[in-house]
Structure 1
Amino acid sequence: MSNKVPDNGRAEYNTSYKVGQDNVQFLGLDVLNPVFSTSALIIFAFIIGSILFPADASTVLSGAKNWSISNFDWFFMVAGNIFVLFCLVLIFLPVGRIRLGGTEAKAEHSTITWFSMLFAAGMGIGLMFWSVAEPVGYYTGWFGTPFDVAANTPEARDLAMGATMFHWGLHPWAIYAVVGLSLAFFAYNKGLPLTIRSAFYPLFGEKVWGAIGHFIDVISVIATIFGLATSLGFGAMQAASGLNFLFDIPNSLTTQIVVICAVTAVAIISVARGLEGGVKLLSNVNMIIAAALAIFVIIVGHTGAIFMAMGSYLFNYVENIIPLSNWIGREDTTFYHGWTVFYWAWWISWSPFVGMFIARVSRGRTVREFVIAVLLVPTIVSLVWMSVFGGSALEQSANGIGALANGITDSSLAMFQMFENLPLTSVISFVGIVLVLVFFVTSSDSGSLVIDGITAGGKTDAPMIQRVFWAVLEGVIAIALLIGGGSEALGAIQAAAITIGLPFTLLMLIMCVSLWKGLKTDMHLYK
């Protein structure tokens, strides 16, 4: 394997493979057949099985998930710590000067728009769901308490803040950063297709264009489609709960299906408009609405307590990040396995989707700029968001105010129950529902772009009908699962996605080695 240095300042790999050379065209599609057909076959087999036999599928797949989490908890924890350390090292080493796209590359998006797209695709919807439920659940003991401390105590409150930030801070974003940086570097600096397999070229060479690469891409597609479909299904349940809470609309299967159809319809329009007219626009809208909602809660809520919560969240996060990262001798099994290890497996299963989307919007950034932005900026935003909503919720719970004083009986209602004790409840609850739906549209849109890219062999200009196909399929799968087995069927597919997180964790560790080898070959361009 030798390098050449073209005029654009990139040390590209000499490979005979060209993007799209093995693609086939049929029914208006332009796809890499081994990846497309194998992924489709496995996806439909899992979906049909989950619909026809929801209880059996849930039992088998949940068993696989629990086996992975129970037996490889140490592996997930060690890997998560390695990803954080690896990213921090990249910030300070000379390789941080390498620019994605070559020495002359320019950023394609403004910094604010870039941040908005990173955050909206990464975990914006999750923060809407869990920013209230998670800290209150830990504090009251409904979700188990970190290190088995007594519930409803000052110690439980401090650990609830620290543990919540631990799950939404550096570790998940380091997972996304490793995948995103690997894909961006090998696509923009080495001239390889923008697909998962390209990240392994320094180790496997031309073999990545064969069976090894097909296997890697198929795992990525399955994890992505399962993660998006289950999130859309569970999100429809949350939105339906909010509509019932606010407008007394029945929280029925019909309502949930209508929500999914509405989200899918908007996602189709957005994905048809492409990256610039779709995801980019929606991401900016997301951040404006989210910022307005947070500012309003700060003003009308317990303002002093919220600002104090920011300091408390940060302090408790820093104080507990090492103990919570430890996997040796943990006895708080309900919390440790049910939340931390589960989250790590879930973030890893989402990393192909989020990582590839981040890569698509990050050309022109330096490695240092990329890692700082992806690792630190979203962590800071999460800190502020958790302080505003989680801090307000903990204040209500600790002081016996409203429904949250009794803990978390329904996670999908937790944020609306917190809003109930603030002025203009109906207004901010409605804004919350809108924000949930727009975040889901953004996730569906960006996910469709990513799956389309992988199944098209790395092409970023495949026919529009393919992006629409994946957006429709996500909605159809979510509806079919809700009709066929409800939350049990959705839980089965979610369990499958988390189980896939185990082999992908190993692939990510290999990816770190591959990325390091690749970065070193570009250092001569920056002396």
Structure 2
Amino acid sequence: MKPSTRALSGVPDAGKSTFMSYCSILMVAAFVLFTVLNVELSNEIFSGFNSWILHNLSWYYVVIVSAVLGFSVWVAFSRYGDIRLGNDDEKPEFGFVAWFSMLFSCAIGTGLLFWSIGEPLMHFQGNPFLDMNGIEAATESAARMAVKITMFHWGLHGWAVYILVGLCLAYFCYRRGLPLTVRSGLYPLLGDKIYGPIGHAVDLLAIFSTLFGTATTLGLGVSQMNAGLNYLFGVPVSTTTQVILIAFVSVVATLSAISGVGRGIKILSIWNIRLSLVLIAFFVFAGPTVFLMDLTVSSLGDYVATFIPMGFWVDLDAERQWQGWWTIFYWGWWLSWGPLVGMFIARISRGRTVRQFLLTALVMPPLGGFLWIIVFGGTALNIELLNAGHLTQVVNENITLSLYSTIEAIGVDSMTQAMAVLSTLLIVTWFVTSADSGTLVICTIVSQGDTHPARSLRIIWGLGLGGVALALLLAGGLDALKTATIIAALPFSVVLTFMCWALVKGFQDERSGITYNANDLAKPVVSTDVVTSKLAEGEAALAD
């Protein structure tokens, strides 16, 4: 069977007011208004849902993410691994170096800037795995365990979610000619019903999953940005300041999304990587270099030896506070970001084989994240081992200051201010690209696969993302942001389960010569030159 040559799909008059647009916008507006006008009630509702999920469905989150990882590895080594994400004779759209660079950029962003120091320091003080292994808190062994747990939360399990969503989108769009929307991943199971109410419902779930996942990242980022401005310029840490920052970033990201200045965003993203490497170099050479080298070897070995059993661990404590605050939150966060990062990975992976796509994307980005965690978290832990309480006290009082306190504790006075400014700049730029990418992906889904949605939609959703982040921040700060992520991930996790089934059936249908109907949503193919040109405008904005 010759695969479809249809590369991109959309809808007639895509990007204009449609049922999806009206429905999703009204639902978001209702959520924001209700939350802002009923802050205490909203917080109670979020807390109630969160408690119920943690008590009854923690095992489900653990199983679903581990199963996705196992499924991805199986597909990579199965007979379907040679299938190309495009025509049989199609070459990869991007060279390996460029492709790897974009995958690597996915591994570094606002989330790691926030957690790479704070999380290891908190695990260093106590976690269930210390008790299970007879390790005393605040020791060198506890430091190794803290790094391993942080790597686990940012490693293969989470990336498998992104990669599976990306594989489904890439296969059904570039190989089978379906629209670039989440609903297309269920075509083998639903057939033409994806073009009706069921398909709309699936895309709405993906929209809200992306919306809350991105809003959580924005909320975390703005808290750290506020801390940085306070450290540098004495700007007060307050809800008012954070509201202003959310509004500022939302406006900048919206202008970026509608202006078409893709080259500027691309340059910004390239500089993000360069500045990140400068910051890493400062930590490595000004910090405990030998300790970091030792920690790299031991941590990677510890992770490889234990990531599978850790992936199936469920806290039997009735409250499940530690696992709920950490592992379940992270799995929810990865699931919520699945449509966003998955769509970006799909967009840059055309022409790769399934096996090449899975193995490279499953290994390279986590390694980038591991490097960041070991360098930043390891430096902080070394400082803490030599001067007990110096950084843990800061983290316990205000985790958003962990990065700045670590830079100061390294002790290179001549560079402290410059590195603090650089860190704040990185937070701002990664923050903007996160908001921009979330806006573009949501608009693409709302437009039913149109990769160039109308400017009016970009404005609405760019401001809408900021509105949701603001509402959650007012409803309970960090706790509300985490809770919203866990809740939003639950329905999309069900969709992801069926996508696994549909993907295998899609492979089998192809071998049987069964074709798919892409006419209901499809429009003529955009030429390769146009696709490449437009992708260059959007790839960097989606790179976080």
TM-score (norm 1): 0.89
Alignment of 1:419 onto 2:404: no
Alignment of 1:173 onto 2:159: yes
Partner of 1:500: 488
Q: Distance in 1 between matches of 2:169 and 2:337?
A: 15
The answer (yes or no) to whether the contact 1:161–1:317 under 8 Å persists in 2 is no
The 1:328/1:259 distance shift into structure 2, 3 A limit, reads closer
The 1:393/1:266 distance shift into structure 2, 3 A limit, reads same
The answer (yes or no) to whether the contact 1:81–1:325 under 8 Å persists in 2 is yes
Partner of 1:41: 26
Q: Letter of the 2:162 partner, please give it.
A: Y
Q: Distance in 2 between matches of 1:123 and 1:65?
A: 28
Partner of 2:529: none
Partner of 1:103: 88
Q: Distance in 2 between matches of 1:64 and 1:261?
A: 28
Shift in Å, 1:279: 5.0
The 1:267/1:373 distance shift into structure 2, 3 A limit, reads farther
After superposition, where does 1:334-373 map in structure 2 within 5 Å?
334-373=321-360
The answer (yes or no) to whether the contact 1:119–1:378 under 8 Å persists in 2 is yes
Q: Please identify, of 310-319 and 443-452, the stretch whose mean Cα deviation from structure 2 is larger.
A: 310-319
After superposition, where does 1:309-388 map in structure 2 within 5 Å?
309-327=295-313, 330-331=316-317, 333-388=320-375
Alignment gaps of 5+ in structure 1: none
Shift in Å, 1:335: 2.4
**DSSP 3-state at the match of 1:106:** coil
In the alignment of these two chains, the number of paired residues is 506
After superposition, where does 1:100-499 map in structure 2 within 5 Å?
100-121=85-106, 124-141=109-126, 150-272=136-258, 274=260, 276-277=262-263, 280-327=266-313, 330-331=316-317, 333-400=320-387, 403-406=390-393, 408-409=395-396, 410-422=398-410, 423=412, 424-479=415-470, 482=473, 485=474, 488=476, 491-492=479-480, 494-499=482-487
After superposition, where does 1:68-107 map in structure 2 within 5 Å?
68-107=53-92
Q: Distance in 2 between matches of 1:132 and 1:327?
A: 24
Q: Distance in 1 between matches of 2:24 and 2:303?
A: 39
Q: Distance in 2 between matches of 1:382 and 1:449?
A: 24
The answer (yes or no) to whether the contact 1:222–1:497 under 8 Å persists in 2 is no
The answer (yes or no) to whether the contact 2:107–2:369 under 8 Å persists in 1 is no
**DSSP 3-state at the match of 2:27:** helix
Q: Distance in 1 between matches of 2:251 and 2:98?
A: 24
TM-score (norm 2): 0.86
Q: Distance in 2 between matches of 1:178 and 1:225?
A: 19
**DSSP 3-state at the match of 2:16:** strand
Q: Please identify, of 286-295 and 462-471, the stretch whose mean Cα deviation from structure 2 is larger.
A: 462-471
- Could you report, residue by residue, the CA deviation over 1:268-291 in whole angstroms, capped at 9, with x for unpaired residues? 343235595365433322211111
Shift in Å, 1:436: 1.0
The 1:452/1:320 distance shift into structure 2, 3 A limit, reads same
Q: Distance in 1 between matches of 2:83 and 2:460?
A: 37
The answer (yes or no) to whether the contact 2:222–2:242 under 8 Å persists in 1 is yes
The 1:108/1:266 distance shift into structure 2, 3 A limit, reads farther
The 1:389/1:186 distance shift into structure 2, 3 A limit, reads same
The 1:405/1:425 distance shift into structure 2, 3 A limit, reads same
The 1:293/1:237 distance shift into structure 2, 3 A limit, reads same
Q: Letter of the 1:513 partner, please give it.
A: W
Shift in Å, 1:82: 1.1
Shift in Å, 1:408: 2.1
The answer (yes or no) to whether the contact 2:336–2:492 under 8 Å persists in 1 is yes
Q: Percent sequence identity over matched residues?
A: 37
The answer (yes or no) to whether the contact 1:137–1:407 under 8 Å persists in 2 is no
Shift in Å, 1:475: 2.5
**DSSP 3-state at the match of 1:30:** coil
The 1:107/1:264 distance shift into structure 2, 3 A limit, reads farther
Shift in Å, 1:63: 1.4
The answer (yes or no) to whether the contact 2:9–2:180 under 8 Å persists in 1 is no
How large is the RMSD of aligned CA atoms in angstroms? 2.7
Partner of 2:502: 514
Alignment gaps of 5+ in structure 2: 514-544
Q: Please identify, of 489-498 and 158-167, the stretch whose mean Cα deviation from structure 2 is larger.
A: 489-498
Shift in Å, 1:57: 0.6
- Could you report, residue by residue, the CA deviation over 1:318-371 in whole angstroms, capped at 9, with x for unpaired residues? 232133112356449332222112211221122122212222222222212221
Q: Distance in 2 between matches of 1:477 and 1:524?
A: 45
Q: Distance in 2 between matches of 1:218 and 1:262?
A: 27
Q: Distance in 2 between matches of 1:48 and 1:253?
A: 18
Q: Distance in 2 between matches of 1:67 and 1:418?
A: 37
Q: Distance in 1 between matches of 2:101 and 2:431?
A: 14
The 1:12/1:237 distance shift into structure 2, 3 A limit, reads closer
Q: Distance in 1 between matches of 2:38 and 2:465?
A: 20
Q: Distance in 2 between matches of 1:389 and 1:77?
A: 27
Partner of 1:60: 45
